[in-house]
Amino acid sequence: MKETAKRFVAYLEALKGQKAWTRARAALRRSLAFDPGAYPPAMPYVEPFVREEGWRREAHYLVAALYALKDGDHQEGRTLARALRGKAQDSASIERRFLALLDADRDQITHRLRQAVGLVEGGLDFALLLNDLIYWFYPEKTVQARWAREFFGTPSEGSGTEATEVTK
Tell me: pLDDT of 168 over 50: no
**CATH code of the domain in which 92 resides:** 1.10.520.40
How many structural domains does the chain have?
A: 1
Q: Confidence class of residue 134 from pLDDT cuts 50, 70 and 90?
A: very high
User: Between the CA of residue 128 and those of 12, 38, 143, what are the distances in Å?
Assistant: 14, 23, 11
User: Between the CA of residue 45 and those of 16, 37, 56, 105, what are the distances in Å?
Assistant: 11, 11, 15, 26
- In the prediction, which pLDDT does 167 show? 38
In a domain, residue 124? The reply is yes
In a domain, residue 157? The reply is no
Q: What is the pLDDT of residues 54-90, one digit of tens each?
A: 999 999 999 999 999 999 999 999 999 999 998 877 6
Predicted model pTM: 0.88
In a domain, residue 89? The reply is yes
In a domain, residue 167? The reply is no
In a domain, residue 160? The reply is no
What domain range is 83 assigned to?
Answer: 1-152
CB atoms within 10 A of CB 115: 12
- In the prediction, which pLDDT does 21 show? 95
In a domain, residue 168? The reply is no
In a domain, residue 162? The reply is no
97-121 average pLDDT score: 94
Look at phi and psi of residue 125 and say left if phi exceeds 0, alpha if psi is from -120 to 50, else beta.
beta
In a domain, residue 92? The reply is yes
